[in-house]
Structure 1
Amino acid sequence: MTMSHKPRVLVTIPMFAEVLTALAERFEVDAPCGTATPIDWTADSLAARAQGAAGLLVAGSPRIDAALLAAAPSLRAVCSMAVGHNNIDLPACTAAGVLVSNAPDVLTETTADFGFALMMATARRIAESEHFLRAGRWTHWAYDMFAGADVHGATLGVLGMGRIGQAIARRGALGFGMPVIYHNRSRLDGAIEQQLGARWVDKATLLREADHLVIVVPYSPASHHLVAAADLALMKPSATLTNIARGGVVDDAALAQALRARTIAAAGLDVFEGEPSVHPDLLTVPNVVMTPHIASASLRTRRAMADLAAANLAAALSGQQPPTALNPQVLPLRPA
């Protein structure tokens, strides 16, 4: 008599109970976090837990590299519920025949909402003025009390004009009458530029002309410290910088120094180098709004991201084409 055996999948992050239940119908689910506190995975602890697993469901961490793949040779799919996948060594996975997927599209509008809100909070000094109020320091009105920068009609600069960058540009141009300039490795189609009212410029021009710069580029070794001290020096003293891309795209130490010196007026940051650690200098300057990497954090969107990751995992381990595979050339996967 032949015994059936469900492939084992390891869920490395806290997860919606409904998603875990759906996965359990097809797989043996190992979810050490359940719906509770995340685990701070080390390379060794992840390698030990991944033994015998056919698939991993991850987010922006932990690190999936050649060493892990060698330690867990049964792996056939790594599916992330994030868009960015710089924690996954895609070439190593492809060489090992391991399918990798991410979760684009489902978080575009939610992330753009947040990016625009963070930019507005930065421009209008909302966090700084709230701290002032909570400290009991509000005793009178003054014409210049927390006077910030206008958003409507100001020049919006977008560094990285992918899905999210374009969604931010639409909000600025259509909702706030903002002239939009952008820099990307390649120009958008002319029809898209016309629809967005966006003008391509080189990086230096973008930095010099933007009143509000929003950074939405993916992280890679090529984009590490894409905005560093020399770049910040090109910006207007009245300009703001908002980073919803990835930590490491901006040199956080140089940014803190520029904020302290008022080289730029203010910054809004949802991502940080070495997060969840934050550069200590950023914690001591008042003109920065900081949030803990929550740009996609609406319940509906986070559920959609989880559902897409689970759908990718189920398809990959069933020999089907996952909806958003990054290396579909590894299909069909080797058998379990």
Structure 2
Amino acid sequence: MPASKLKVVVTRKLPSAVELRMKELFDARLNESDIPLTQEQLAEAMQTADVLVPTVTDRIDGRLMARAGQQLRLIAQFGAGVDNIDVASAVQRGITVTNTPGVLTDDTADVAMAMILAVPRRLHEGVQIMETGKFDGWTPTWMMGRRLSGKRLGIIGMGRIGQAVARRAKAFGLQIHYHNRKPVGPRIEEALEATYWDSLDQMLARMDIVSVNCPHTPATFHLINSRRLALMKPEAYIINTARGEVIDEAALARAIRSGSLAGAGLDVFEREPSVNPDLVGLPNVLLLPHMGSATIEGRTEMGEKVIINIKTFADGHRPPDRVIPAIL
């Protein structure tokens, strides 16, 4: 089928340049209101569309996939993670799934590094003090945080984003350590001066700061739980820009409130957009509204990748960013 004839349903509002290009190339049905589709609305879209363009906020499980029409052949995710999609179920039904990897690496790593700086140095607390008029003048012990240089940073997940975080952290004098399914290899380790830990438990016990950069899979759900949080030093911090489900938020709140963990920076949450109320209002917890990839450049490039995947598929070729269940 020619690309111009493809009925493409987009579930959320995208950057205007991306939407304009989609309307030029496809029979695009856009979500001008930007209100998330209900499960029933998603099912209706999947019954009529040739291509569905969802985002991470759209839960497409096996039950929803079973309601898809025969004409649906491509789910072109606007985002790198695909934990919201039952990819195996899609493939069984002959539906190709694509994503948009790579383009949000630097943007997400920037936010991770910003929180690695902000939380130990208490920068967000300083902003709150100034905004509430509570600054009464400098004293020798005022707002003391922790120095970064020389501290150990433990990165969980040394993929594109994990390596980008490591490069930034190395420039600030942090010692780089990491846990991954397997070592990244001597060339990358030497460039980052990074130390590999086969045991996550042993790494957590030694780190001053931990950055979570792994995907959410069944194996990583609540990877950071109460037992593992108890292994960390009481003066340690944890940063999460990956997926909220990787950390047990209730356990994290208990650890911070009890003083067994120094603080946290979170850009993602277990039940977005809800946030565990026990984490809200804590001075040593920095909460951001899932803005790791929120740059004009990054979101536009994500949209361009979606378009390339759709066009390539329409031309009868394998999309460049096809997701394969076996490697998830």
Which bin holds the TM-score, normalised by the shorter protein? over 0.9
Q: 1:263 aligns with which of 260, 263, 288?
A: 260
CA deviations on 1:191-223 (whole Å, 9 max, x unpaired) are: 211111001112112111111110001001111
**1:126-145 matches, cutoff 5 A:** 126-145=123-142
Which segments of structure 1 move beyond 4 Å, counting only runs of 4 or more? Answer: none
Counterparts of 1:158 and 1:184 in 2: how far apart (Å)? 8
**1:165-314 matches, cutoff 5 A:** 165-173=162-170, 175-201=171-197, 202-314=199-311
Counterparts of 1:273 and 1:149 in 2: how far apart (Å)? 28
| Count of aligned positions | 322
Name the CA shift for 1:151/1:5 in 2 (closer, same or farther; >3 Å).
closer
1:328 offset after TM fit, Å? Answer: 10
Counterparts of 2:191 and 2:293 in 1: how far apart (Å)? 25
Greater mean deviation of Cα atoms: 8-17 or 64-73 = 64-73
Name the CA shift for 1:29/1:236 in 2 (closer, same or farther; >3 Å).
same
CA deviations on 1:153-194 (whole Å, 9 max, x unpaired) are: 211110111111011111122x11221111111111122111
User: Helix, strand or coil: the match of 2:5?
Assistant: coil
Counterparts of 1:65 and 1:111 in 2: how far apart (Å)? 26
User: Helix, strand or coil: the match of 1:51?
Assistant: helix
Aligned to 1:20: 19
User: Helix, strand or coil: the match of 2:292?
Assistant: coil
Counterparts of 1:243 and 1:252 in 2: how far apart (Å)? 11
CA deviations on 1:111-133 (whole Å, 9 max, x unpaired) are: 11111011111111111221122
1:327 offset after TM fit, Å? Answer: 3.5
Counterparts of 1:193 and 1:217 in 2: how far apart (Å)? 18
Aligned to 1:81: 78
Aligned to 2:29: 30
TM-score normalised by L of structure 1: 0.92
Aligned to 1:9: 8
Aligned to 2:122: 125
CA RMSD of aligned residues (A): 1.7
Which letter does structure 2 place at the counterpart of 1:85?
Answer: V
- % identical equivalent positions: 38
| 2:321 counterpart of 1:327 | no
Which letter does structure 2 place at the counterpart of 1:162?
Answer: G
Q: 2:47 aligns with which of 45, 48, 51?
A: 51
Which letter does structure 1 place at the counterpart of 2:167?
Answer: R
**2:87–2:325 Cα contact (<8 Å) kept:** no
TM-score normalised by L of structure 2: 0.94
1:5 offset after TM fit, Å? Answer: 7.7
**Runs (5+) with no aligned partner, structure 2:** none
**Runs (5+) with no aligned partner, structure 1:** 330-336
**2:234–2:259 Cα contact (<8 Å) kept:** yes
Which letter does structure 2 place at the counterpart of 1:133?
Answer: M
**1:69–1:75 Cα contact (<8 Å) kept:** no
**2:176–2:193 Cα contact (<8 Å) kept:** yes
